[in-house]
Amino acid sequence: MYYNWIAWHEFDEERDLNPYFKCWILFGTFCIPALKPMPLWLGQVACCHQRMHREAEKLSCPTHMTWDSRTKDGYFYFSMIEIPEEEWKLREPVFRQKMTPWIDSFEKEWRGRLVPGIMAEYDRLKKVDVEKLSNVDLLEHFEDWMAVNDKQWVVHFESMFPAYHLYGLFEDMCRELLGIDGTHPQFKALLGGYDTEMQVAERWLWRLGERAVELGLKQTFDAVPDDEQLLSKLKESDAGRKWLDELNEFLQVYGWRTPPIIHVEVPSWIEKPTLALPDIRRVITKGGVFMLDEERKRLVAERKKTEKEVLPRVPAERRDMFVKLMEGARWCGRWSEDHLYPCEFTTNALGRRVLMEMGRRYTKAGVLDETEDIFFLIPEEVKMAALTMHRCPLKKTVRIRKEQWQEFVKQEPVPFIGDPSVLARQTAINPVLRVLAPSPLVREELKADLYGTGSAVGVVEGTARVIMSEDEFSQLQPGEILVAPFTHTDWTSLFWLASGVVTDHGGALAHAVIVGREYGIPCVAGTLGATGKIKTGDRIRVDGDNCCVYILK
């Protein structure tokens, strides 16, 4: 437990392993390595505890009351709270009423109703020059950002639970009427071939790489490997300055991004433009047309072909609902990537901006030793020091927590606390858990070395490259199979080089699965052990059709 942490939110075995909580699941995609106190508070307290289970309960999910979360040594876990089966029917009418608008038009509810409001809040915050604010105004801006951050979690979960339920309802209907589930190639084919906001940004990045070549700047990129030096070098020529103007145009639209979901301590692209350059370098290395556009034609054709095959098998009286749920399930996958700018990306970037300014002032006043020590505090401590400054020493708190964090990072967190055998039943009755919980689908007859939770179709053999963090991205060579703890948006450009992907964490709609599907790259996610069993240089086979991995040599 972090020093002076909130005791209720820390895992307690006596209290938290009881008839209500049977198994706690590591939120591995977002809290590896161990989180510092500020992002941990924003993710576990503000996100999961205050908003996730509240929005789940407002939806009146029939099979479970809500969700809860706990922290343990810098990591956080979530668990489903089941309710007696006799109460399911009582909750069902409210659930149906709340789900109806989302079934009728997910796009209208998401892009039409929720997104414009939260983006307007962001636009208002972006106009504030935090460096010019007085201490009291800076405090109020921080509190304003905290309120907007809370609103974005409402937007996040108000849309997430309907999205994941739509996926589950469609899978249930496919299982009942067609005899297929989410692992079947036909099911996956029905969901592929759609643009997301993130793909629009990726296409723009690809174009920036092409523009660098068109303007004769490839030699400069190749000759100057250091990204900071490259930015300075580009300013020396007309072509370089023109390209930098185009980069800045991109950043004004898509530069408010940090790795999801709660990493407020990480610089955004708008703050540090060099973060965009490795992706652009990979475009220059890869060359050719944008992979996504090539693959899109095949995916759309496969989707339409599969629709023609399955729709006649659906009884006429149920076909309208089948089509509605199918469209909703498609939006579920799109939402997973689409929601990042309206939710985590922009709020993290704006939060880091105000926290860094507060950190600079606290350091100058002697409250902290370094600006980024601010991320070892939690919001109440930040607010407490905002006006009292010299009378509010926080160095001891930071020092102890920093030492703890350094130890937590060395630990290998367990994927489950409690009895993971209950997940099979919980997953069967709860579509949200199917998406979030890493519970590998073991099929002994396949005799594989690893089994996953979700996958993108296709089979590939090749040389493995284990990448544990962003610092190692440059090690991936074209054609290698990427093996990683997880992937998120910052990892997307590695899909431009990789021939396959395997991850430890992630469910049926993990970033790796969605991106792998759209780029036509075989993927197996949620193996719970790939980075431990597979070594760089191993020859492996990734079987996305059967959701498993073989270590060949």
- What is the domain-level CATH number for residue 541? 3.50.30.10
Structural domains in the chain (count): 3
- Per-residue pLDDT at 161: 92
Alpha-carbon gap, residue 507 to 88, rounded angstroms: 25
Alpha-carbon gap, residue 170 to 327, rounded angstroms: 9
> Is residue 141, in this structure, part of any structural domain at all?
no
Q: Which amino acid is at 266?
A: V
> Is residue 55, in this structure, part of any structural domain at all?
yes
> Is residue 503, in this structure, part of any structural domain at all?
yes
> Is residue 71, in this structure, part of any structural domain at all?
yes
Final residue in a domain of this structure, among 402, 418, 437: 437
- Per-residue pLDDT at 442: 86
- Per-residue pLDDT at 438: 64
By three-state DSSP, how is residue 10 classified?
strand
Residues 425 and 466 in one domain: no
> Is residue 309, in this structure, part of any structural domain at all?
no
Final residue in a domain of this structure, among 397, 412, 437: 437
Final residue in a domain of this structure, among 234, 266, 291: 291
Residues 429 and 502 in one domain: no
Alpha-carbon gap, residue 124 to 312, rounded angstroms: 51
pTM score: 0.92
- Per-residue pLDDT at 63: 77
Residues 21 and 80 in one domain: yes
> Is residue 24, in this structure, part of any structural domain at all?
yes
Residues 393 and 456 in one domain: no
> Is residue 61, in this structure, part of any structural domain at all?
yes
Residues 404 and 499 in one domain: no
- Mean pLDDT, consecutive 10-residue stretches, the chain (553 aa), reads 84 86 85 91 80 86 78 89 83 94 97 97 98 97 96 94 93 95 92 90 96 97 96 97 98 89 91 95 91 91 96 97 96 90 94 97 94 96 87 91 96 90 82 76 92 93 95 94 93 94 90 93 94 97 96 94
Residues 497 and 468 in one domain: yes
> Is residue 538, in this structure, part of any structural domain at all?
yes
- Per-residue pLDDT at 110: 97
- Per-residue pLDDT at 408: 95
Residues 442 and 544 in one domain: yes
Domain that holds residue 399: 1-104+388-437
Residues 430 and 488 in one domain: no
Residues 5 and 30 in one domain: yes
Alpha-carbon gap, residue 544 to 15, rounded angstroms: 40
- Per-residue pLDDT at 260: 67
Give the residue from 294, 255, 293 showing the smallest Cα distance to 273.
255
Residues 542 and 483 in one domain: yes
Paired with 543 in beta bridges are 459, 548
Residues 7 and 83 in one domain: yes
Rounded to the nearest 10 degrees, what angle do helices 379-388 and 346-364 cross at? 40
Helix (H) or strand (E) run with residue 356 in it: helix 346-364
- Per-residue pLDDT at 5: 84
Residues 416 and 476 in one domain: no
- Specify whether the CB–CB gap between 34 and 405 falls below 8 A: yes
